[in-house]
Amino acid sequence: MKYYIVVLLMSLGLITQAQTEKKKKKFKQEFELEIEGEYRYFFDDAAFPDQKDHFPALSIQPEYSLSWNRGRESINAIGFLRVDQDDSRTHWDIRELYYQKAKGKWELSIGAKKVYWGVAESNHLVDVINQTDQVETFDGEEKLGQPMVQYSYSTDKYGTFDLFYLPYHRRRTFAGKYGRLRFGEVIDKDDIKYESAAEEFRQDFAFRWSHYFGIMDIGVSHFYGSGREPLFAFKPNGEINSFYPVMNQTGLDLQITHSAFLWKFETIYRDTESQDFFALVGGVEYTFSNIKKKGIDIGVLGEYLYDERGKYALSALQNDVFFGSRIAFNDSHDTSILFGGILDLDKETRIVSVEASRRIRNSVTAEIEGRFFSKVDSEELIFSNFKQDSFLRISISKYL
């Protein structure tokens, strides 16, 4: 009899324990699929043979997440597939696939992930963790998934500390034979070598500290490893020698929010064996909100860009001014438009761009993008190759 009571008490204990466990271990799954149809049209005659004018394309982006322990543990996955007229633009990628665990003040992520640093609109200097998915967008804002171990520690008084271990480098892909926005010579991604003998497997590290003081947000970062941006050295015979240099890069980003003003500043110092330079981008965004009580917000932006590399800057933003305007209609279609222009202060190069998006059905959005290169100075080492590559892009996305 005694024995039975003990067993009963034990099992009661187990039941309550199992119930709390069950509450804790509630699994939550989410799945989303984006299917996008895209058409890019380059309306100027191609600069180089084989380049095409019309680029119909499709992309699929599935997203899955499984979380438990009240969201403190999760597995997150984002895949991506693009099929395009230009073979080099046809590609797939694991944008994210990582396990994350958070406990108290720390958070640990293991796997492929995207990490974005920075505040500026026209150039993203301090953002060094992920390789750019160069063939995907012109502005370089799409990134490839980066294998990493990320450890974050938050403190109340001293801000957030992030440590990154980056065991594998991903190469940048460039437009192929049929593609636009390329040099005369087609670059195969394997043509670009590494300074490090370990090549892709060089073990890289990065660190970031971020904090806020009243109206100011600040981030200080350091990266030591193979650069994501290849270094191009042009030989007199026109040959390009290019490689991923081992670099030390220190970055600072600041944002000050003061009434309707957003002051933004980013600067880096990059040190490699063959080149060291500093670059900065800084400016302001001012938002006129709720214009005529219609809920429309109009932001005006101005930024100055400097790159000590001068004409060798891959971004070609060596001494330029960016101006732009962001219009958010705040309507139920979430209509927004971003206009921008970059003026070279030394030469006469101008780049004008427009990006607009609007939801046209409950789960369907449309986007229009235009990039117009005008008066590209022949002195522009990089951009002179693109002067015939103004384009219009229309895309429609369906979310399932």
Partner 1 sequence: MGSEFAYEDLSSQEIEKYSYKFLEEKGDLLIVEQDPTDPKSGYTRRIVTYNKGKGYRIEKVEFYDRKNALLKTLKYTDYNVYKKKFWRAKTFTMVNHQSNKETILNFRNYDFDAGLTEDDFTQVALKRAGR
Q: Are 378 and 391 in contact (CB under 8 A)?
A: no
By CB under 8 A, name the one of 41, 44, 65, 339 that touches partner 1.
65
User: CA 169, CA 147: separation in Å to the nearest integer?
Assistant: 8
By CB under 8 A, name the one of 185, 199, 334, 346 that touches partner 1.
334
Q: Taking CB under 8 A as the rule, does residue 333 contact partner 1?
A: yes
Q: Taking CB under 8 A as the rule, does residue 257 contact partner 1?
A: no
Q: Taking CB under 8 A as the rule, does residue 160 contact partner 1?
A: yes
From 65-73, 84-92, 225-233, 238-246, span contacting partner 1 (CB under 8 A): 65-73
For partner 1, the closer of residues 89 and 143 by Cβ is 143
From 99-107, 187-195, 247-255, 366-374, span contacting partner 1 (CB under 8 A): 99-107
Identify the DSSP state of 332: T
Among 188, 190, 200, which residue's Cα sits nearest to residue 226?
200
For partner 1, the closer of residues 65 and 319 by Cβ is 65
From 69-77, 87-95, 199-207, 279-287, span contacting partner 1 (CB under 8 A): 69-77
Within residues 177-216, the interface with partner 1 by CB under 8 A covers 210, 212
By CB under 8 A, name the one of 34, 36, 107, 377 that touches partner 1.
107
Pinpoint the alpha helices (H) of 94-164: none
User: CA 246, CA 233: separation in Å to the nearest integer?
Assistant: 15
Question: In the complex, what is the shortest distance from the CB of residue 96 to partner 1, in angstroms, rounded to a whole number?
Answer: 10
Token output for 185:
């010579």
Q: Taking CB under 8 A as the rule, does residue 221 contact partner 1?
A: no
Measure Cα distances from 253 to 115, 118, 174, 272, 274 in Å.
15, 6, 29, 21, 25
DSSP β-ladder status, 364-374 and 391-399: antiparallel
240 contacts: CB under 8 Å, gap ≥ 6: 183, 185, 187, 232, 233, 234
Q: Are 397 and 364 in contact (CB under 8 A)?
A: yes
Q: Taking CB under 8 A as the rule, does residue 332 contact partner 1?
A: yes
For partner 1, the closer of residues 200 and 331 by Cβ is 331
User: CA 164, CA 149: separation in Å to the nearest integer?
Assistant: 6
For partner 1, the closer of residues 31 and 212 by Cβ is 212
**Which strand (E) or helix (H) includes residue 395?**
strand 391-399
Find tokens 């970031």 and name the residue: 208
- DSSP, collapsed to helix, strand or coil, labels residue 20 as helix
For partner 1, the closer of residues 76 and 390 by Cβ is 76
By CB under 8 A, name the one of 100, 122, 146, 357 that touches partner 1.
100
Residue spans of beta strands (DSSP E) within 292-335: 296-307, 319-328
Question: In the complex, what is the shortest distance from the CB of residue 333 to partner 1, in angstroms, rounded to a whole number?
Answer: 7
Token output for 167:
């065991």
Edge-to-edge order in the sheet of strand 240-244: 193-194, 240-244, 231-234
For partner 1, the closer of residues 90 and 160 by Cβ is 160
For partner 1, the closer of residues 318 and 397 by Cβ is 397
Q: Taking CB under 8 A as the rule, does residue 32 contact partner 1?
A: no
Within residues 268-287, the interface with partner 1 by CB under 8 A covers none
Residues that bind partner 1 (CB under 8 A): 65, 70-71, 76, 100, 102, 104-105, 107, 152, 154, 156, 160, 210, 212, 295, 330-334
